Amino acid sequence: MPRGLHRAAAGRAMRWLPVHPVPMKAVFRRCYLVNFAVEPAALRRRLPAHLEPDLHDGRAWLSIVIADMTGMRPAFLPAALGFDFTQAVYRAVVRCGAERGVAFLRSDADDRLMVAAGNALTFFRFHHASVRWDSSPDLVRLALVPSSGKGARIEAAFDRAVPGDRLPSMSRFADLASASSFLSELYTAYGARRADGRVEVVRIARTPWQSRVVDATGSFEAMGSGAVFDAGECALDSAFEVENLDYRWNRLSLEQPAQGGVQARLTGRASTRP
């Protein structure tokens, strides 16, 4: 459950299987970043003690990253041996000491092998789901139905005909550049903190994230059902589309949190740097 996520992460850290043992590669053929402003206390309750929400405009932030992926495989294998699938990742923007990054609260994927491998070898918290895409030049529809049926269904439409550089009026960001800097320029994923104080860290490398604004409508059930957040704890801010991103997840490293950044966490000021 959400309030016990940090305990689950700690339990996985003690298992005998290695975590993120090899570098992985894939291409995000198309990807939608659906961004939510979250009550800071609501996110803080769902994070382990070594992580803090990174705030902008007095709010914590979580993006549902919905990606049509191709060629997922260990980095030393050719793309032809990779897996194609869709995943939806609920990733919160956080700080670990002085460094910004993300924490994964939930992931859904439509490939059972990837779900099993992900739960055995990563801290991405996978669930199996069925996924259906329906695309036209100006409109992309997605239906995601978790196999468990527990409060994380997505029924979404992404309108691509809106101006690609103009944020919706409800957004808490001044412009696309500042929103992309805060929500997209994130290259570190954090897992559990080990008994010796070191934190599980997976760093990524990717091609540039060239976002364009889309209009997202529909239902993102986990953001109010209790599967990720409870009703009233978050609000839709904006949505972006990107295409053809080359991604590489490096092997897990164990690192001491970088020192500093205390003032930013106490005052809620957001960093303007990756």
Going by the DSSP 8-state scheme, the letter that residue 163 receives in this structure is: -
Q: Which residue has the higher pLDDT, 209 or 85?
A: 85
pLDDT in tens, 191-223: 999 999 999 999 999 999 999 999 999 999 999
Contact 103, 189 (CB under 8 A): yes
Query: Is the whole model's pTM more than 0.95, yes or no?
Result: no
How far apart are the C-alpha atoms of 246 and 242, rounded to whole Å?
11
What does the alpha-carbon distance between residue 3 and residue 11 come to, in Å, rounded to a whole number? Answer: 14
Q: Which of the 8 DSSP states describes residue 271?
A: P
- Distance, in Å, from the CA atom of 153 to the CA atom of 131, rounded to the nearest integer, reads 10
- Write out the two tokens for 211: 């976002």
HSE-CB at 204 with a 13 A cutoff on CA atoms is: 23
CB-based contact 27:70 (threshold 8 Å): yes
pLDDT at 264: 34
5/7 Cα distance (integer angstroms): 5
DSSP E strands, 97-168: 99-109, 126-135, 139-146, 154-159
State residue 266's pLDDT score.
30
Note whether 25 and 75 are within 8 A (CB): yes
- Length in residues, the chain: 274
pLDDT tens-digit map of 46-79: 999 999 999 999 999 999 999 999 999 999 999 9
Check the CA dihedral 178-179-182-184 and report its sign.
negative
Q: How far apart are CA 199 and CA 189, in angstroms?
A: 10
Tally of CB atoms within 10 A around 113: 10
Sign of the torsion angle spanned by Cα atoms 54, 51, 203, 116: negative
- For residues 268 and 199, give the distance between their C-alpha atoms in angstroms, rounded to a whole number: 23
2/172 Cα distance (integer angstroms): 25
Confidence band, pLDDT 50/70/90 cuts, at residue 8? very low
pLDDT in tens, 163-199: 999 999 999 999 999 999 999 999 999 999 999 999 9
Per-residue pLDDT band for 273 (boundaries 50, 70, 90) equals very low
What residues contact 8, with CB distance under 8 A and at least 6 apart?
125
CA nearest to 157, candidates 230, 234, 226, 239: 239
Write down all domains in the chain, each with its CATH number in brackets. 2-267 (2.40.400.10)
